A and B are shown apart, each in its own frame.
Chain A
Amino acid sequence: MALRAALLGVAEGVILLDPDLRLILCNAAARRRLGWVGGSPRRGLALTTMLEHAGALDTAERMTIREHCAALLAEGAMPAIGRDSAAAEKELAFGDFAMRLRWLDGQGVMLSIPMGGDGGEVALRDPLTGLGNRRAFQAALAAALARPETEAALLLLDLDRFKHVNDSLGHPVGDALLRLVAQRLRASLRGGDTLVRLGGDEFAILLPRAEGAEPLAERLVDLLSRPYLVEGHLANIGVSIGIARAPADAAEGGMLLRRADLALYAAKAAGRRQFCLFRPEMDARAQARQALETDLRRAVALGQFHLHYQPLLEVASNEVIGFEALLRWEHPARGMVPPAEFIPLAEEVGLIVPIGEWVLRQACRTAASWPETVLVAVNVSPVQFADGARLLRAVDEALASAGLSGTRLEIEITESVLLRDAAETLATLHDLRGRGVRIAMDDFGTGYSSLSQLRSFPFDKIKIDRSFVSEIEGESGGKAVVRAIAALGASLGMTVTVEGVETEAQAAFVATSGGHQMQGYLISRPVPSDAVAALLAGRPASARAGLARTASSDGA
């Protein structure tokens, strides 16, 4: 009994469990550190039930504790001789606090939570802003939703452009700015509202009511977007907010948080500086995305990708001088998935790197079987350029294993590649060039600053975006654009390829406009690799005939 009294009073958090993992005691310090929610702990409470009261722990952390307690128990049941004494103790780290689990020979398990630097309270507070932290938030969320028929609204806030301010003005200014943001937020709330900083530039507000979230969000978007004078600097940031409400959108904390997060994602996707309410279709969209990602991960392993090849026709000789390799994904249930649907996702989750490497290997291997004069063009994603060394390695390996000369490989990039870390990207491009590889600028004319991009690197080729070609026959200036780009490319010593040629009139125009190469359905759709040989043998004659016919009918 003396021991019990002593343990209840110590500053260190202590929880004692019997050999059945039922509660013997849980002192005040432990309750504080765990963000205890609900009535005081009863003796005999099962560990699982007890952990549900620990508002500061998330589901994964609760499971970790349960698993380790069970493991200690199993270990403790073994005869002492075979036992590893180190295994009788286990230390778990949970972000800002640690928990030590100790097997008390035959008596049960003791969980102890050592004091943080300033005692238990600090574990629930964000030191920078003085607001509650993620743990405090989880405790508040659990407490708010523990009451039956409770109404609540959760607002998740993410600052726009904060990273930019932090990077350009420095961390001390960034920190001071976060304190001002916290002040503005605090000043906008009522007594029962909970405001926390989740970390970085993320904040959350929990309202103990379902109404009133929208006007508050509207006010906060305005208020946080107003300028800041901080440490002698002017800073402009904004905020995006996602809102989910209980019980309408979710009755359980984790789900409410997830749905507010989906709404936040929608607010950001819609252009930031605004708020979005959760809508059920966001869930459906997220699930569809999740499913697509799962399938995409499998597709690499299951070999569901293959390449099609679209010929590049040289205008002067009227011969096919190369092929662009195009990625195709055929999923057993989804059918053919359009690249526009899966490439952006693959880039976002980083899968584009292994996929892109597969494309390089496959395209080089296939091209090795073609006549020596025929080259292969491969699209490389901006994401792949983020790791230039890895990209160079992938190109080297693809060329070496196929026995293909670098001069037969053309890498197509889009302007966005150059928008990233320009110096490193340029170095990678020059290294590729050093291997004899040609560099082509794809989708030319659709980006922001095409001309300055052209000056930044001596591209071997520019490919005029298909959108201009489709306008050749109209009155909207497509012709003038194609002529101008062709002249520009010629003066810079670059080959000019016109994409998306679908009609003979377009082909005739390209032939007279100064374009060097063309590509499009008129010449051929992308074909499987086994159809390439036939194209190389058969296409030039018919193309010549077609071009001659339209050129003469055009009077050129």
Chain B
Amino acid sequence: MTKQELHRVVYCSRVRLSGPPAGIARELRDILATSRRNNMRADLSGALLFANNCFAQVLEGPRVAVERCFERIQNDPRHSDVTVLAFSPASAREFPKWSMGFAGEPGAAHDPLAFVVFEGAFARDRPESGSAVLGLLHGLVRREEAWALA
């Protein structure tokens, strides 16, 4: 895969998980573990944010791998209202170290910053949402670098 093919997608979706927080947390760990495994193999990196019952995700890698992975994610019934905020070629990875970062704790109180960003992301015609979500993920990933799940 050549470097020119590097693409990045940023998207949000609403989480369709119900049940006690512990169960949701287990489900999220599952999602994370699976994507870690798959993404490493496909040369994908990125970050995943869970907050206010929404996912925000950045996926970076060779275009075909990004498209394939995204397609797999679409078929997952555990989320809905998928909104793509940005999809374009990228010159370099924003999250090179992460096979998949995980920011935000299941069941934690609503993060006000995340709330504002998600509101904007799901509303149409907000071209700045993509970079806002990207910035949010950057901040959270840094803040909780040590929190990454094993």
Is A234 in contact with B87, judged by CB distance below 8 angstroms? yes
**Which residues in B have their C-beta under 8 angstroms from that of A234?**
84, 87
Main secondary structure of the interface of A (DSSP, over half): mixed
Instruction: Kindly report which residue of chain A lies nearest to residue B87, judged by CB atoms.
Output: A234
Residues of A within 8 A of B (CB): 180, 183-184, 187, 219, 222-223, 226-234
Is A229 in contact with B75, judged by CB distance below 8 angstroms? no
Is B82 in contact with A229, judged by CB distance below 8 angstroms? no
Number of A-B contacts (CB under 8 A): 34
Interface string of B3-47 (1 = CB under 8 A from A): 000010101000000000000000000000000000000000000
Q: How large is the interface on B (under 10, 10 to 19, 20 to 34, 35 or more residues)?
A: 10 to 19
**Which residues in A have their C-beta under 8 angstroms from that of B77?**
219
Q: Is B94 an interface residue (CB 8 A)?
A: no
Partner of B70 from A184, A187, A229 at Cβ < 8 Å: A229
Can you name 26 A-B pairs with beta carbons within 8 Å?
A180-B71, A183-B71, A184-B75, A187-B75, A219-B77, A223-B74, A223-B75, A226-B74, A226-B82, A227-B74, A227-B82, A227-B83, A228-B71, A228-B74, A229-B9, A229-B66, A229-B67, A229-B70, A229-B71, A230-B67, A232-B7, A232-B67, A232-B89, A233-B87, A234-B84, A234-B87
**Which residues in B have their C-beta under 8 angstroms from that of A226?**
74, 82
How far, in angstroms, from A553 to B128 measured CA to CA in the complex?
Answer: 60
Residues of B within 8 A of A (CB): 7, 9, 11, 63, 66-67, 70-71, 74-75, 77, 80, 82-84, 87, 89
CB distance from B68 to the nearest CB of A (A): 9
**Which residues in B have their C-beta under 8 angstroms from that of A232?**
7, 63, 67, 89
Is B71 in contact with A222, judged by CB distance below 8 angstroms? no
**Which residues in B have their C-beta under 8 angstroms from that of A229?**
9, 66-67, 70-71, 84, 87
**Which residues in B have their C-beta under 8 angstroms from that of A227?**
11, 74, 82-84
Is A222 in contact with B74, judged by CB distance below 8 angstroms? no
Max chain B C-beta neighbours (<10 A), residue from A226, A230, A231: A226
CB distance from A217 to the nearest CB of B (A): 15
CB distance from A222 to the nearest CB of B (A): 6
Is B74 in contact with A184, judged by CB distance below 8 angstroms? yes
In the complex with contacts A229-B9, A232-B7, A222-B80 CB distance below 8 A: yes
How far, in angstroms, from A184 to B11 measured CA to CA in the complex?
Answer: 19
How far, in angstroms, from A230 to B67 measured CA to CA in the complex?
Answer: 7
CB distance from A539 to the nearest CB of B (A): 53
Max chain B C-beta neighbours (<10 A), residue from A180, A184, A227, A229: A229
How far, in angstroms, from A491 to B82 measured CA to CA in the complex?
Answer: 49
